Amino acid sequence: MEWNMRGFGLLIAMFLLAGCDQSEPTSTDFNDELRAVLEAKPEGTPRAYALIKNGMAGPDWLATIHGYGDNRSVCEMLIEPYNSEEETSVLPGSYSCEEIVAQ
């Protein structure tokens, strides 16, 4: 009976591992898809802004600011404390706001 439980456990492990052959989407894939959705907004609506951390590893898209009357002002208000007081951020680097437009 002990071997049957081991065999059953091995069979379950094989099924679980077989489902892991697809690669996970990368953050670049996600950023590209999000950018495409936000670029497709109708003309006349406020453009969305990406809140970017420019750190040692390069730029990272941390947040998307959208849904406000003036998305740029909201984004700049959010990053101001981090850029003016470096100790506010855990990792060194600067923050910026980028309008999300077609590239």
Amino acid identity of residue 91, one-letter, is L
The Cα–Cα gap between 48 and 98 comes to 9
Phi, psi (deg, nearest 5) at residue 47: -75, 145
Please report, in tens digits, the pLDDT of each residue of the chain (103 residues total).
444 666 666 666 555 555 555 666 666 777 777 777 777 777 777 888 999 999 888 898 899 998 899 999 999 999 999 999 878 888 888 999 999 876 5
Length of the chain: 103
Global pTM exceeds 0.85: no
Q: What does the CA dihedral 89, 90, 93, 94 come to, rounded to 10 degrees?
A: -20
Pick the closest to residue 99 from 39, 40, 47, 28 (CA basis). Answer: 47
Phi, psi (deg, nearest 5) at residue 59: -75, 140
